Amino acid sequence: MADPVLDAITASRIVAIVRLEQYDHAVEVARALLAGGITAVEFTLTGSGANEAISATRSVLGDHMQVGVGTVLDPAAASAAISAGAQFVVTPALRPAVIEACLAHAVPILCGALTPTEALTAHEAGADMIKIFPARSFGPSYIRDLLAPLPFLRVVPTGGISADNAHSYLAAGAAAVGIGGNLVAARAVVHRDWAAISAAARACVDAIAA
């Protein structure tokens, strides 16, 4: 059965990863990303107030963006974020218990993996998409090699992805890419330079359309 959240991520092909110490300006960041053409955003639990950011963004932009939670390590954290309104969950590593929790809540999960064994294990455990992390260490050719024997995996390389190389990862077979610091720079948020975030978002959107 098709899932509208997964369909939206697959259609847009970019998940914006917002990793900040504080999420005081979460809605402004999300608006800036949306203005640049990005419609899926993930707030990581490494920052303070991530669940509040999810709730606020869903309240203001819920009809226009898919809002998820990242860096989820345990089922309790997943459940709390889902209760706050998270529409998808992302882990940085293989976390079978988090996959199980997401299945129980009927919420899509992008489970972290790196090796073929981890990726296949995550898929067989029920993960909807596989976040290949850290992608920067291996490059697009690794995605192509990984998918050669496992073409049914929907992989989302993350780590070191930018407007300069996003298209190469997608051309190698990735279903989407996760883009973090190269998209939402902490400096831009500190200076409330929303135009810079919108410009970075537009550059990434244009790059994958080329």
Angle of CA points 145, 146, 152, to nearest 5°: 125
| Residue 118 falls in the annotated catalytic set | no
Catalytic residue among 21, 118, 124, 131: 131
The active-site residue out of 42, 52, 100, 124 is 42
Q: What is the DSSP letter of 205?
A: H
Alpha carbon 7 to chain centroid, angstroms: 14
52 catalytically annotated? no
Half-sphere exposure of 14 (CA within 13 A, CB side): 30
HSE-up of residue 143 (Cα within 13 Å, Cβ side): 29
Mutual angle of helices 26-35 and 50-61, in 10-degree steps? 50
Q: What is the CB neighbour count within 10 angstroms for residue 153?
A: 23
Taking the C-alpha atoms of residue 198 and residue 31, their distance in angstroms, rounded to an integer, is 8
Per the CB < 8 A criterion, the answer to whether 201 and 185 are in contact is: no
Cα–Cα–Cα angle for 108, 80, 4, rounded to 5 degrees: 25
The single-letter DSSP state of residue 15 is E
**Catalytic positions:** 42, 131
